[in-house]
Amino acid sequence: MVTGTFEPVPLDESDRSVSVLSVRDWTLLLNTLPDVLRLDPSIDLQARAPDGVQNDLSIRGSTFGQTLVLLNGQRLDDVQSGHHDMDIPVPLDSIERVEVLRGSGSAFYGSDASGGVINILTAPPEGWEVRVRAAGGSFGDNQQSVSLADTFGNFAEQVSFSRDFSDGFIADRDYRNLQFASETSLQTALGFSHLTLAYMDHPFGADQFYGPYNSWEDTKTWWLGYRQPLGKKTWVNFAYRRHSDLFVLLRDDPPVYTNHHHDEDFQLSIRRSDPVNANTTVSYGIEGLHESIVSNNLGNHSRSRGAAYAALDFRALKRFSLSIAAREEVYRNLGGEFSPSVSGGAWLNQHLKFRASASRAFRVPTYTDLYYSDPANQGNPHLLPETAWTYEGGADWIPSSRLRAAVTVFERRERNGIDYFRTSPDAIWMALNIDSLNFTGVESSLHYSVSRSQTLDLAYTWLLGRQNTVPFGDTKYTFNYPSDSGVLSWNATLPGGMLARTRLGVINRQAQDPYPLWDFYLARSAGKIHPFLQLANITSSSYQEIQGVVMPGRSISGGLEFLLRGR
């Protein structure tokens, strides 16, 4: 079931380009959440260090600010800069799956969803469980995690904790990642209530991250998310997020330049779905969001927005589907944005489906885009909001239960795109709007079940961007996208309770040479004690995902997991 729509629908019935990445079933063969996201070549993870340290995340050539990240359908995007996409406060043990909606998603979720949406979903435990994990590896890596879960009648609770330390593969690339989460669920006469409390602390050495400086940064996230059904048709959602960012330009001389930002937001939504008849459903709702920031560099600012939306979903004979949606979002200081969306699909027979969609998206500037200033960057308080239309068409082919293939052709036409521009290598970066920016691409995927215990996945995404506003190569983010990205992955359950997974990705990024990234994971799932081994960048490729930020070569880590489980 895919929940990245107004009404949850089976994956085969989605008329948009959607993928679902399982997490809970493969935790022994995963190290961090980026290990999961790298299985989708349409997702570009621009990492500055291993294990999710200051990763930028984008879909279909969008920038990090144009990709919306959700936790259980509620916004995680950072109003300060948009950079902190992977500041996910919940540990990996709390996550059940990740849904990826490619293409404009503003009709569903409002601002920031130009390239697509990443929805990270947790789920209550199905019984009692104790999971303890410890690992160590290259570059002084030291990991521990604990997860405790149980069910008590209609009540369920999971508490999870993780920490990850590393000395860094070079000087000033050390990091520490601490996460804690509580997931509480209760079944009542009104429905299934869910409360998430989470905290994350993430200090790291940031050498070369923001220019030729030995910088240091510490980000913290506090999160409260609550979902309350009011019967079977109405849901109330509330979330509070607080994020802090302490940035030191020169780690060995902090008084020279230090920034401290605190931002927070409150989210509230009321959603309802009513069946009109057996084939038609109407969904509608209202949402409110208040964002504020207190910063010694950006100043003190706040903005509020309210939105109303409605959608009509029609399905007939299990062969035809049509969804029409529209959202009006009004800002107190920026006016309103109207975001329509239409999608449809038709099964020609039981094996072949065609689908198409058109949707509009928008993004308001972050406070960094508007007001930031340092020796290398300058914001622009006169920036306009971005807008984009995405058009796509595709086909799904399912000739048997063992084979599935899909192809999607898309184009995103963007206006007033926000980026940074400089006139020479010695000049500072200035924020500006790019008048016209178009991306055209093709996504293809093939899933094959070799046997009941082995699967093979092959996926490839091609992308081309064009603009006519600024000289090519003088923008900071827009043209660092991968023009070609392919992923081959193999998963297997082997005799003796052994699990294995390997992933080979090849990326051809603009203005860089192509490079491969090959990872291998091996674990034993039988019994209560589970040893595991992880090899990353086996070929020791030399590469940069952020220009000027060198990434590590080959690394190895291993450890043990202790698991007790019951019903």
- HEC string of 275-332 equals ECCCCEEEEEEEEEEEEEEEECCCEEEEEEEEEEEEEEEEEECCCEEEEEEEEEEEEC
Residue 263's CATH number: 2.40.170.20
What's the confidence (pLDDT) of residue 288?
95
Q: Is 211 left (phi over 0), alpha (psi -120 to 50) or beta?
A: left
Q: Is residue 222, in this structure, part of any structural domain at all?
A: yes
The band of 232, judged by pLDDT with boundaries at 50, 70 and 90, is confident
Domain that residue 323 falls in:
11-565
Residue 513's SS3 state is: coil
The band of 462, judged by pLDDT with boundaries at 50, 70 and 90, is very high
Q: Is the pLDDT of residue 459 over 60?
A: yes
Q: Is residue 110, in this structure, part of any structural domain at all?
A: yes
Are 106 and 115 spatial neighbours (Cβ–Cβ below 8 Å)? no
Q: Is residue 5, in this structure, part of any structural domain at all?
A: no
* CA nearest to 261, candidates 432, 419, 83, 429: 83
Q: Is the pLDDT of residue 423 over 80?
A: yes
Are 32 and 141 spatial neighbours (Cβ–Cβ below 8 Å)? no
What's the confidence (pLDDT) of residue 510?
78
| Residues belonging to the chain | 567
Rounded distance between C-alpha atoms, residue 448 and residue 450, angstroms: 6
* CA nearest to 352, candidates 393, 319, 323, 314: 319
pLDDT tens figures, 373-383:
888 889 999 99
Q: Is residue 2, in this structure, part of any structural domain at all?
A: no
Rounded distance between C-alpha atoms, residue 13 and residue 541, angstroms: 40
Are 303 and 288 spatial neighbours (Cβ–Cβ below 8 Å)? no
Residues of the chain above pLDDT 70, percent: 96
Span of 1-15, 198-212, 423-437, 512-526 with lowest mean pLDDT: 1-15
What's the confidence (pLDDT) of residue 2?
57
Q: Is residue 6, in this structure, part of any structural domain at all?
A: no
pLDDT tens figures, 59-95:
998 988 899 999 999 999 888 887 888 889 999 999 9
Average pLDDT for the chain? 90
The band of 125, judged by pLDDT with boundaries at 50, 70 and 90, is confident
- HEC string of 212-278 equals CCEEEEEEEEEEEEEEEECCCCEEEEEEEEEEEEEEECCCCCHHHCEEEEEEEEEEEEEEEEEECCC
Q: Is residue 153, in this structure, part of any structural domain at all?
A: yes
Rounded distance between C-alpha atoms, residue 375 and residue 247, angstroms: 14
What's the confidence (pLDDT) of residue 557?
94
What's the confidence (pLDDT) of residue 464?
92
Mean pLDDT of 1-17: 64
What's the confidence (pLDDT) of residue 466?
84
The band of 472, judged by pLDDT with boundaries at 50, 70 and 90, is low
Find the angle CA(231)-CA(233)-CA(239) to the nearest 5 degrees: 80
Residues of the chain above pLDDT 90, percent: 68
Q: Is the pLDDT of residue 321 over 60?
A: yes
Kindly list the distances between the CA atom of residue 385 and the CA atoms of 79, 367, 480, in Å, as whole numbers in the listed order: 14, 12, 21
What's the confidence (pLDDT) of residue 11?
64
Span of 287-301, 398-412, 467-481, 534-548 with lowest mean pLDDT: 467-481
What's the confidence (pLDDT) of residue 6?
61
Q: How far is CA 338 from the centre of its chain?
A: 24
Q: Is residue 65, in this structure, part of any structural domain at all?
A: yes
Q: Is residue 375, in this structure, part of any structural domain at all?
A: yes
Phi, psi of 279 (to 5 degrees): -110, -10
Kindly list the distances between the CA atom of residue 71 and the CA atoms of 7, 119, 192, 428, in Å, as whole numbers in the listed order: 17, 6, 17, 36
What's the confidence (pLDDT) of residue 329?
94
pLDDT tens figures, 86-123:
889 999 999 999 999 898 888 889 999 999 999 999 98
What's the confidence (pLDDT) of residue 155?
93
Q: Is the pLDDT of residue 334 over 90?
A: no
pLDDT tens figures, 163-193:
999 999 999 999 999 999 999 999 988 888 9
Phi, psi of 219 (to 5 degrees): -115, 145
Rounded distance between C-alpha atoms, residue 36 and residue 43, angstroms: 11
The band of 344, judged by pLDDT with boundaries at 50, 70 and 90, is very high
Q: Which residues are registered as beta bridge partners of 147? A: 131, 160
Q: Is the pLDDT of residue 347 over 70?
A: yes
What's the confidence (pLDDT) of residue 331?
86
Kindly list the distances between the CA atom of residue 483 and the CA atoms of 94, 444, 489, 541, in Å, as whole numbers in the listed order: 34, 14, 20, 19
Query: How many distinct structural domains can be found in the chain?
Result: 1
pLDDT tens figures, 275-306:
998 889 999 999 999 999 999 999 999 999 99
